[in-house]
Structures are given as C-alpha cells and as structure tokens.
Amino acid sequence: MKRWNVIHKIKSLHDGGNGLSIRAISKELGISRNSVRKYLRLDKVTIARQQDDPARSKQLDACRDYLLGLLVNFPGLSAVKIARKLREKLGELPASDRSIRRYVSALKDKVTTGQFRYYEPVVDAVPGVQCQVDPGELRTVLIGGVETVVHFVVFVLAYSRLMYVGLSFRPLDTQQFIQLHDEALRYFGGMPEECVYDQTRLVVIGEKYRELSINERFHQYATTAGFRIHACEGYDPESKGKVEAGVKYVKQDCFYGEIFRDEQHLRQHVLDWLNNVANIRMHGTTGELPRERFERDERIQLKSYLSPACVTLVASETRKVDKTGLISWKANKYSVPMAWQQNHVGVLESGNQLHITDLQGGEVLARHELSGGKGRIIKNNNHYRDHIRRREQLEQDIQTLVGDEAVSQALCQQLRQLLPKVYKDQLYAVRSLLRKHGPVELEML
C-alpha cells in the first residue's frame, strides 16, 4: 500500500501540471525524477487495475511461512540477507530485490504488531527447512498371534514429503524419542533446520501465555545436533496437517490387515513399506514421488548430521569378535573394526539396523543393515582397510627397490598365487631382503 500512497501523493502535488514541478516533487518526497515521471504517466484506470491485481504482491507468498519463521526467530535479519538465504535454497527468485525488501518490510510490521498466528509450520515451498514429527500408537497389531500395542513416531520432510517411521514396543520415553530421531535423520541422510511438534510432553513440559517450557534432555539433544524446536500452539491440529495425515496413513496402509511373526518381521515390513510404497507413491499434493522430489531438490539442502554423544545405545546382548573381525547375530555374521578382534562387544537392534558398541564407553563401533537371510557375512570394507593399505604400501616399497614396475608386479603376483594366506608376511620378507642386499639385478629376479 505504501507505493500507492506515494503515487497518489505525486498526483496530488503535481495537480495536472498546475502544482509542483517534477524536480520539486522529487525533492519533496526524496525519490528520483524518473520515478516521478513514471508514476505521473499512470492513469487512474491502470492504477486501479494494478491495485486490484492480487498477483502483484503474491510472488513470494509461497515462501511466506519460511520468511515469517526467520523473522520470528531472528527479527534483526536484513532483507538483503533474507534474499541471500532464499537464493541459496531456491536459486533464482520470482521477484526483484526491491520487491523482496517491500515484502519483508510488510512481514516485519506483522511480526512487531503480533498480527500473525503463533506459528504456521507449513514451510513446504523451501527444501531442507522443516521436518514435522508426531507420535502415534496402534493397539491391535498381531505379533506372533498376540494383539500388541505398537508405539511409533512419524517423521515427514515438509518439502518432499519423504517419510520415516520409527518403532517402539513399549511406551515412549525421552531417550527412546531421541533415538528414533537419530534413526530418522540417518535414514534421511541429513538434518533439516527445524523440527515441528505438537505439545507432547516428550518435547514441551508446559505452556503459559505462549511461553514454553521445553524438555531439558530433548532440548540438549536438539541443540547438540543442530536443529531448532518449534512447538505448535495448543489445540491447533491443523498447523501440522502433513504429519497428522501421515499418522493415519501409517495406521491404515502400513499396519492395518497385516499379521507379523515377530518384532523383527514388523520392523522389516515397515522399512519395506517406506522404501517400496510410501516414498515412491504419487503424492496427492505435490504431484511427485517423495523420493524423486527429495533426491532432486532436498537432499543437498539438508545439513550434515552426526549422532550426538547423548544418543546412548544400551546393548541388549554381548558377543565375542572372532579373529577375522566378525560377530555372530541371528544366523549371520557382521564385521567389526579389526582393533576389536577377540574382544567382547555390545549388540543392539534398533529399527532395521544392528548397532555394535564398546561395552566400556558405549561408543558405536559399527552399524549394519540387518540381513533377513541366513549364513550371510555382512562386511564393511572400512573395517579392514588398514590391512589393505599396509599391503599396498609394501607392494609400492618393493616396486621402488626393484626399479622396474613390470618385474615387481610379476614378483608380487607370484607370491600372491603361491602363498595367499601369508602374502603380507612374504611381502615384509621380500622388502627386508631387497633393502639388505639391493640393488638386485633384474635378471636374477
């Protein structure tokens, strides 16, 4: 509206040529003479049409909630920095810098006068900003022939609608809630700027005059991980519609009508459902597959995530690591870094993953996706990489001492074929001999 007030003031001062000159109007209002000329050329019909055109101020409305969120949390942000943050996430913007300044100025007026909802968590136009989170439960899930209460938490990225479902077979406490966040963020492969919650006591202890008391333990996790907590206003279910709909979707499409052999069967079913149904369906609102939309636009905008120290995994059982760096778990074998061979480690299933931990400090030594088969060996090559590096270094040393690449490779190949089990020891021996008696004539080799 400010712009149209200026135009009407210019028209009034000019008075059809009977009032002030263009130079005088420019000086009076502190705007350029070119702007004065441009506005004087507009007739009343054009002005009325443009004022009535809703598109003139709607170009940035898709980002309105994101901008409001920024201004609520950081009211001192300049329009220049806000425009830069938008460009980082969206590329080219649908409005000029001047339009952005006007739009931000109007939003700041709303923030300072309080004429906006306490929180409007519908930031779906900007990737990597928001994840909506909501716990749920279902009381009649058949597991091993017994009706069981299953507690779960649904995580939905607001932009792409990519979903994760974390499971618990006992009522959720803060530590479990934290661990399910850890699972979800590792499933997404990164972390949004903020997570949105209703007023569950796992997050909000109390509210008075919109002042929130946050669960201290959960707040510590969120602060350490690096995402903001946003709690919806009490009794305001529509403000978190995406995830509320997600809870119903999980109950009706994932759980309803299914029978499970055991808890592991249920966990695997939920993971398969996420990967093969929920995240590759045509979404009714976006008109796209959540996984494709995520991979194209959102993955790159997520912040990196590392499990904080407060995500403690309490081992349910122990296993001894054999001399090959493997432990046995449910008819399969999983690798552990070789530094722990012949030691005892803790083992815990969490979601679809097997966590192997240090019994003393609780440090996670290895994570593997659980295998549904039997007799398989699931290895992480990084657990054995030191041995590979040592062997490669020995081969490189021998090549340097021999002075001929083809001859040294033939020598190493001969040792590898004849003595594969002690190949590395043989390399040590050859290197020692070459250092002691070199240089050696190629014909002798």
Give me the pLDDT at residue 76, please: 74
**Using 50, 70 and 90 to split pLDDT, how confident is the model at 165?**
very high
What residues pair up with 88 in beta bridges, in sequence order? none
**253-256: long-range contacts at Cβ-Cβ below 8 A with a sequence spacing of 24 or more?**
253/277, 253/278, 254/165, 254/278, 255/138, 255/141, 255/150
DSSP 348-379: EEETTEEEEE-TTT--EEEEEEPPSSSS-EE-
**Superfamily of chain region 130-301:** Ribonuclease H-like superfamily/Ribonuclease H (3.30.420.10)
d(CA 347, CA 332) in angstroms, rounded, equals: 13
The predicted pLDDT at position 184 comes to 93
Q: How high is the pLDDT of residue 216? A: 86
pLDDT tens for each residue of 388-398 = 777 888 888 88
Q: What is the pLDDT of residues 182-222, one digit of tens each?
A: 989 999 999 999 999 887 788 887 766 556 678 888 998 99
Question: pLDDT by residue (tens digit) across 365-416?
Answer: 888 888 878 889 998 877 776 667 778 888 888 888 888 888 888 888 888 8
Dist CA 378 CA 167 (whole Å): 24
User: Could you tell me which of 170, 157, 158, 155 has the C-alpha nearest to residue 247?
Assistant: 155
CA distance 157 to 133: 9
Task: Give Rg (Cα) of the chain.
Answer: 32
- pLDDT value for 291: 94
How many residues does the structure list for the chain? 445
The model carries a pTM of 0.54
Q: Is residue 2 classed as helix, strand or coil in its secondary structure?
A: helix
